[in-house]
């Protein structure tokens, strides 16, 4: 029976397409956008195909005038027939709407999504702006993920934008993959069932597109670099992260989540079949069918409790028939290798016998619905189902037959293809054919097809007569084909089929195939007939008339006739316009008169209202007095009633005590049963969640152990640094006591000591900061570790508890050790602070005295620099003279070079020892920091043959060495005054004790040599241990 909303929709569309002139669509807007559902629109499009084109013409014309028509387009385009008719009438509609939708108009956005929600025809290209529209919708979805924002993305990818995934760049596809993966992870615990399933369905579409190598339809616009990203020559994009949810390690978790969503959805039984439950079951079935069969079977074996719960929910008697069928279809897809329960099989047969339920489940991957259950049904069940189909085709309602004819014929044709594979199905079809009821239904169907359809189509009728006739033909062709196919492959000696049925089947198949498949009813607007131009036949022209005159007469006659014709056309148009204006103005005048009359009535009513307000005020005063009196009386009555109620209440309590105890017992029993069911489901869900948390905890434990090892190593290094700093501090304290004996070099030593103090303070501050950070990290890691261990101990088995106990003991030991280390570091830090303060106090008193000596020290440094430059020049001249003398004496270079190298080595070693002694007296922390000045001085004092210099000297040491005046360097003789044949003295000079400054100066002089030292490597010259020639030692004495 047709619903009131669908009847109103049919009547309004009939009025619109029958109107001779364009009309407003406000009433249609109200019906379509506020009253009708999507099912009503789909049913109207299926029952009135002859009116779709006329409706599309009216909508296109109205779209140019009124913006609200876009809402009608967005609502009606849910039916593919209406969408195709609109694009056929105006091919540029899709491009215009999508272009406007990109700019941000919500009306155009909804209309564009509706136009692209179904696959486009091969002759229609995807608009260029659709990519921008799609990415904008995805960005909006990422900003606010919900089932409402994810549904347009799913509809676009399932519809007209399916080829778009084959054209996007790899970076864009990777971003989409990351977006949907993040949405799934962040919304998995939300109560919205459709949100997670929409996300999984979109991920399934992307994975399927990557496997199938989708490309754009012919004639598309894509000629950009993005198209090159998906050509055969470039590497294919692989959604590795998304594939984990379908064929990887996360497939089991995804399937578990889907099953929990289905269980929660099938629990809703208040309103029967709801759209929310239908969406959840459809999406769940689509995603589950994409998973591998092995993964599904393994999950069913591991989760038998949930599988049993699914079948129990599908067997609920309160569940709507459509929802029940969808639940059974989901369970059959999940447990594909298992047989259906007996009670489910009986219920399924009764449900499938009604052809209206065949379109309840959309099977995108498995074809028609019957292919899911045909192999699970027995011969009597198949026979009963075929009998129900034939009865519906012969005696069913015309409207239902028109709506469900396509689904019914598809299922019958699919069942015909399985006859050769299953003997049970073939036997069931032959059993149905041998029944008298089926023969009667076929005969009646044959008689119906022989009758021609009604010649006209009434707009107010629910279905078109030609469409009903076509639906009968479609179903009759499928049924007769099924019976003929089964009869041809069967042994007639073992069947009970009457022989007179075979001619009937052949005739039914022939007459159904001869029917025209196109509805011939064309409902178009009856416009006012236009006046055609009259063509005049030219009369013969006499030969004696001049041709100019003939042409002029001809043109005048033609112009006159055209003028008359145009005048007649314009007069007709003006008359038509006046008539239309009259028809429009007359209702306006009537409305104006009615409005004036209503205004007078309104004025009268306002006066009456004021009079009534005065009477009301007077009545209120009387009512207040009466109300006070009534309150007093009411109080007395209440007191009397309270006493009566007290007595009656005691009697009632005694009467209801037994009933209450019985009711509580029944409620406790019911609650116990419900709690047991919830406990089963909760236990299964908790096990899965705890298993997942257990994996995460184990990963965290491994990471924490690695961090503990790293921190232990870091603490060991820190202790070594602290011990080093401690030893340096001890050495510094000892050297501070020695600073009183130093007079000339206190300025430089004070600067070094100040630098060392600053470094020590910085080291102390860094150690304090590092110590605090380690304490905070230790406390945070300890608390996090204790929480994770506590949760894991409560949710895991005995083995995990043992492991966690061992880990807790290990952590406690580490914590104790760290606390001891922290206490040691704190004590060391306090000791360092005390030593630093004491050193600062002692040295601050000497600052004034040392500042006075800075000026004299600077002058001495300048003098020493000039002296070193002079010595370097003399050294160069001496080396040149030595080379000349060696050449004149005939000595070889190898011998002299070896001797010179040994002298330089001893000299450099002595110099290094003296430097190290001086450095130790200044600051032990700067020994390992060479500077460019030290390298320069070392290169200057070395022999020209030595290419590398010692680089372990400090600026403080060099200033000290250059500041001291050398007696040896002052007593050196010029090179020309030294005899080359002089016998060196063998007397050894003993060192006299002196200050550290003089020892340091001697060490510095030992590292430099005058011109006489050039002859140290000549034959006959004896070299002393201290590296000085005899003559120079004597000069120093």
Domain endpoint, select from 518, 543, 567: 518
Among 269-278, 651-660, 740-749, 795-804, name the most confident range. 651-660
pLDDT tens digit sequence for 773-805: 777 777 787 777 777 667 656 666 676 667 767
* Residue 624 pLDDT class (50, 70, 90 cuts): confident
Using the structure block, give the residue that is written with the tokens 């996300």.
199
**Token representation of residue 563:** 């003028």
| Residue 1036, pLDDT above cutoff 50 | no
SS3 451: coil
Nearest CA-CA partner of 100 in 70, 66, 56, 57: 70
47 within some domain: no
* Residue 989 pLDDT class (50, 70, 90 cuts): very low
Average pLDDT rounded to a whole number, residues 238-251: 86
| Residue 76, pLDDT above cutoff 90 | yes
**pLDDT at position 745, please?**
67
| Residue 975, pLDDT above cutoff 50 | no
Q: Residues 795-815, buried b or exposed e (16+ Cβ, 10 A)?
A: bbeeebeebbeebeeebeebe
**pLDDT at position 224, please?**
41
Q: Which DSSP string do the residues of 136-151 spell out, in sequence order?
A: HHHHHHHHS--HHHHH
pLDDT: which is higher, 942 or 27? 27
* Residue 894 pLDDT class (50, 70, 90 cuts): very low
In angstroms, the CA 707 to CA 784 distance is 13
| Residue 430, pLDDT above cutoff 70 | yes
Query: Is 389 within 8 Å of 479 (Cβ atoms)?
Result: yes
Number of H helices and E strands in the chain, helices first, is: 38, 0
Q: Using alpha carbons, list the distances in angstroms from residue 482 to 380, 433, 500, 680.
A: 17, 10, 17, 46
Range from 33-47, 427-441, 888-902, 933-947 carrying the lowest mean pLDDT = 933-947
Q: Which DSSP string do the residues of 682-748 spell out, in sequence order?
A: HHHHHHHHHHHHHHHHHHHHHHHHHHHHHHHHHHHHHHHHHHHHHHHHHHHHHHHHHGGG--TTHHH
582 within some domain: yes
SS3 530: coil
Average pLDDT rounded to a whole number, residues 654-677: 80
pLDDT: which is higher, 1012 or 1? 1
| Residue 987, pLDDT above cutoff 80 | no
Statement to judge: residues 869 and 1011 lie in one domain: yes
* Residue 516 pLDDT class (50, 70, 90 cuts): low
Number of domains, the chain = 5
870 within some domain: yes
Average pLDDT rounded to a whole number, residues 655-666: 78
**pLDDT at position 462, please?**
58
**pLDDT at position 411, please?**
84
- On the 0-12 / 13-18 / 19+ scale of CB atoms within 10 A, 39 is middle
pLDDT: which is higher, 629 or 934? 629
Longest dimension (CA), the chain: 164
Residue 68 has phi, psi (to 5 degrees) of -65, -10
pLDDT tens digit sequence for 719-771: 888 888 778 777 777 776 676 666 666 667 667 777 777 877 787 777 777 77
Q: Which structural domain, as residue segments, surrounds residue 443?
A: 378-518
How far from each other are the two terminal CA atoms of the chain, in whole angstroms? 137
pLDDT: which is higher, 687 or 219? 687
Distance of CA 521 to the CA centre of its chain: 50
**pLDDT at position 154, please?**
93
Average pLDDT rounded to a whole number, residues 810-831: 79
845 within some domain: no
Statement to judge: residues 361 and 399 lie in one domain: no
Statement to judge: residues 830 and 886 lie in one domain: no
Range from 481-490, 518-527, 590-599, 656-665 carrying the lowest mean pLDDT = 518-527
> With left for phi above 0 and alpha for psi between -120 and 50, is residue 902 left, alpha or beta?
alpha
Domain endpoint, select from 329, 344, 377: 377
In angstroms, the CA 688 to CA 256 distance is 8
pLDDT tens digit sequence for 536-572: 444 454 556 677 788 888 888 888 888 888 888 888 8
Statement to judge: residues 728 and 593 lie in one domain: no
Give the number of residues written for the chain: 1037
173 within some domain: no
Range from 167-181, 227-241, 486-500 carrying the lowest mean pLDDT = 227-241
Statement to judge: residues 717 and 753 lie in one domain: yes
**pLDDT at position 116, please?**
92
Range from 2-6, 13-17, 279-283, 786-790 carrying the lowest mean pLDDT = 786-790
| Residue 84, pLDDT above cutoff 70 | yes
Say which DSSP state 1021 is in: P
| Residue 225, pLDDT above cutoff 80 | no
Domain endpoint, select from 474, 493, 518: 518
| Residue 595, pLDDT above cutoff 80 | yes
pLDDT tens digit sequence for 459-486: 555 567 777 878 888 888 888 888 888 8
Statement to judge: residues 920 and 979 lie in one domain: yes
Say which DSSP state 34 is in: I
In angstroms, the CA 305 to CA 685 distance is 11
Integer Rg of the chain from CA: 53
| Residue 86, pLDDT above cutoff 90 | yes
| Residue 284, pLDDT above cutoff 80 | yes
| Residue 901, pLDDT above cutoff 50 | no
**Angle, nearest 10°, between helix axes 147-158 and 193-212?**
30
**pLDDT at position 789, please?**
62
Average pLDDT of every residue of the chain: 74
In angstroms, the CA 351 to CA 357 distance is 7
**pLDDT at position 740, please?**
62
Statement to judge: residues 916 and 1022 lie in one domain: yes
Neighbours of 483 (CB within 10 A): 27
Statement to judge: residues 776 and 828 lie in one domain: yes
Statement to judge: residues 593 and 489 lie in one domain: no
| Residue 847, pLDDT above cutoff 50 | yes
267 within some domain: yes
Statement to judge: residues 756 and 874 lie in one domain: no
Kindly give the residue spans of alpha helices, DSSP state H, lying in 796-853: 798-844, 847-852
Q: Residues 674-713, buried b or exposed e (16+ Cβ, 10 A)?
A: eeeeeeebeebbeebebeebbeebeeebeebeeebeebee
**pLDDT at position 747, please?**
66
Statement to judge: residues 417 and 444 lie in one domain: yes
Q: Using alpha carbons, list the distances in angstroms from residue 182 to 188, 342, 897.
A: 10, 42, 76
921 within some domain: yes
| Residue 205, pLDDT above cutoff 70 | yes
Portion of the chain with pLDDT greater than 90, in percent = 7
Range from 119-123, 626-630, 894-898 carrying the lowest mean pLDDT = 894-898
Q: What 3 state SS string does 311-371 have?
A: HHHHCCCCCCHHHHHHHHHHHHHHCCCCCCCHHHHHHHHHHHCCHHHCCCCCCCCCCCCHH
In angstroms, the CA 136 to CA 141 distance is 9
**pLDDT at position 492, please?**
66
Statement to judge: residues 817 and 938 lie in one domain: no
**pLDDT at position 976, please?**
46
219 within some domain: no
In angstroms, the CA 611 to CA 993 distance is 133
pTM greater than the 0.75 cutoff: no
* Residue 984 pLDDT class (50, 70, 90 cuts): very low
**pLDDT at position 150, please?**
92
Distance of CA 977 to the CA centre of its chain: 92
């Amino acid at each position: 029976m047709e619903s009131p909303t669908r009847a109103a929709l049919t009547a309004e569309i009939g009025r619109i397409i029958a109107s001779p002139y364009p009309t407003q669509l406000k009433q249609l807007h109200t019906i379509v956008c506020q009253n009708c559902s999507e099912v009503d629109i789909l049913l109207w499009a299926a029952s009135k195909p002859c009116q779709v084109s006329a409706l599309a013409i009216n909508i296109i014309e109205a779209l140019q005038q009124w913006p609200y028509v876009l809402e009608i387009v967005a609502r009606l385009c849910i039916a593919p027939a209406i969408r195709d008719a609109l694009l056929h009438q105006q091919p540029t509609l899709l491009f215009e709407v999508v272009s406007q939708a990109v700019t941000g108009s919500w009306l155009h956005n909804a209309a564009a999504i509706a136009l692209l929600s179904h696959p486009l025809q091969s002759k229609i290209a995807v608009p260029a702006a659709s990519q921008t529209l799609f990415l904008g919708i995805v960005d909006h979805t990422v900003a606010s993920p919900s089932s409402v924002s994810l549904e347009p993305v799913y509809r676009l990818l399932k519809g007209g934008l399916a080829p778009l995934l084959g054209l996007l760049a790899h970076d864009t596809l990777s971003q989409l993959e990351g977006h949907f993966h993040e949405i799934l992870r962040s919304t998995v615990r939300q109560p919205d069932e459709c949100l997670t399933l929409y996300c999984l369905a979109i991920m399934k579409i992307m994975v399927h597109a990557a496997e199938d190598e989708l490309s754009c339809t012919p004639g598309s616009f894509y000629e950009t670099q993005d198209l090159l990203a998906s050509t055969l020559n470039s590497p294919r994009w692989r959604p590795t992260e998304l594939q984990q949810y379908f064929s990887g390690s996360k497939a089991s978790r995804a399937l578990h989540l889907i099953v929990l969503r289905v269980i929660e959805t099938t629990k809703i039984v208040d309103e029967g079949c709801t759209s929310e439950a239908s969406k959840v079951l459809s999406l769940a079935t689509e995603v589950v069918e994409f998973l591998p069969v092995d993964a599904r079977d393994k999950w069913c074996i591991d989760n038998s409790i949930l599988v049993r719960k699914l079948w129990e929910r599908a067997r609920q008697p309160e569940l709507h028939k459509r929802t029940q069928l969808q639940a059974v279809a989901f369970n059959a897809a999940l447990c594909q290798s298992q047989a259906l329960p007996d009670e489910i099989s009986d219920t399924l047969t009764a449900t499938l016998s009604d052809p209206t339920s065949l379109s309840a489940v959309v099977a995108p991957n498995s074809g028609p619905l019957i292919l899911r259950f045909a192999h699970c049904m027995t011969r009597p069940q198949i026979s009963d189902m075929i009998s129900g189909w034939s009865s519906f085709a012969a005696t069913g309602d015309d409207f239902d037959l028109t709506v469900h004819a396509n689904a019914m014929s598809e299922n019958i044709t699919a069942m015909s293809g399985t006859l050769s594979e299953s003997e049970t199905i073939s036997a069931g079809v032959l059993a149905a054919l041998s029944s008298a009821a089926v023969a009667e239904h076929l005969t009646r169907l044959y008689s119906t097809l022989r009758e021609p359809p009604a010649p006209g189509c009434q707009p107010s009728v629910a279905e078109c007569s030609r469409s009903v006739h076509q639906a009968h033909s479609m179903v009759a062709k499928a049924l007769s084909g099924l019976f003929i196919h089964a009869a041809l492959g069967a042994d007639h000696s073992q069947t009970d089929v009457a022989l007179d049925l075979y001619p009937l089947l052949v005739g039914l198949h022939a007459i159904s195939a001869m029917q025209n498949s196109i509805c011939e009813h064309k409902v178009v607007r009856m416009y006012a007939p236009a006046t055609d131009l009259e063509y005049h036949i030219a009369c013969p022209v006499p030969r004696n008339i001049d041709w100019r005159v003939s042409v002029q007469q001809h043109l005048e006659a033609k112009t006159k006739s055209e003028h008359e014709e145009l005048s007649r056309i314009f007069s007709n148009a003006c008359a038509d316009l006046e008539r239309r204006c009259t028809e429009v103005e007359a209702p306006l005048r009537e409305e104006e008169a009615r409005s004036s009359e209503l205004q007078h009535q309104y004025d009268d009513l306002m006066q009456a209202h004021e009079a009534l307000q005065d009477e009301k005020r007077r009545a209120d005063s009387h009512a207040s007095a009466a109300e006070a009196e009534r309150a007093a009386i009411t109080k007395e009555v209440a007191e009397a009633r309270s006493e009566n109620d007290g007595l009656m209440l005691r009697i009632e309590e005694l009467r209801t005590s037994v009933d209450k105890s019985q009711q509580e017992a029944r409620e406790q029993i019911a609650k116990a049963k419900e709690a047991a069911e919830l406990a089963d489901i909760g236990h299964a869900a908790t096990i899965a969640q705890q298993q997942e948390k257990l994996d995460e905890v184990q990963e965290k434990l491994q990471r924490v152990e690695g961090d503990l090892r790293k921190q232990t190593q870091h603490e060991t290094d820190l202790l070594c640094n602290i011990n080093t700093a401690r030893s340096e501090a001890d050495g510094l304290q000892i050297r501070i006591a020695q600073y009183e004996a130093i007079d000339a070099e206190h300025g430089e030593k004070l600067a070094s000591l100040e630098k060392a103090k600053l470094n020590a303070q910085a080291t102390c501050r860094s150690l304090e900061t590092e110590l605090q950070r380690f304490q905070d990290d230790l406390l945070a890691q300890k608390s996090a570790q204790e929480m994770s261990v506590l949760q894991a101990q409560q949710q895991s088995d005995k083995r995990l508890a043992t492991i966690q106990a061992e880990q807790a003991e290990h952590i406690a030991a580490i914590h104790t050790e760290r606390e001891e280390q922290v206490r040691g570091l704190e004590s060391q830090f306090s000791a360092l602070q005390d030593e630093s303060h004491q050193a600062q106090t002692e040295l601050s008193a000497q600052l004034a005295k040392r500042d006075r000596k800075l000026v004299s020290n600077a002058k001495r440094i300048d003098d020493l620099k000039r002296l070193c430059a002079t010595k370097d020049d003399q050294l160069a001249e001496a080396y040149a003279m030595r080379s000349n003398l060696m050449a004149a004496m005939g000595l070889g270079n190898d011998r002299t070079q070896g001797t010179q190298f040994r002298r330089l080595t001893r000299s450099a070693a002595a110099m290094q020892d003296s430097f190290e002694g001086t450095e130790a007296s200044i600051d032990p922390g700067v020994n390992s920091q060479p500077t460019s000045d030290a390298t320069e001085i070392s290169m200057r004092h070395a022999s020209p043959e030595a290419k590398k210099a010692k680089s372990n000297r400090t600026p403080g040491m060099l200033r000290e060495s250059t500041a001291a005046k050398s007696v040896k360097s002052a007593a050196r003789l010029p090179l020309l005054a030294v005899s080359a044949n002089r016998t060196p003295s063998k007397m050894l000079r003993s060192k006299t004790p002196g200050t550290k400054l003089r020892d340091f100066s001697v060490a510095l002089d030992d590292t430099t040599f005058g011109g006489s030292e050039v002859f140290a490597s000549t034959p006959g010259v004896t070299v002393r241990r201290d590296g000085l020639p005899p003559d120079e030692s004597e000069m120093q004495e």
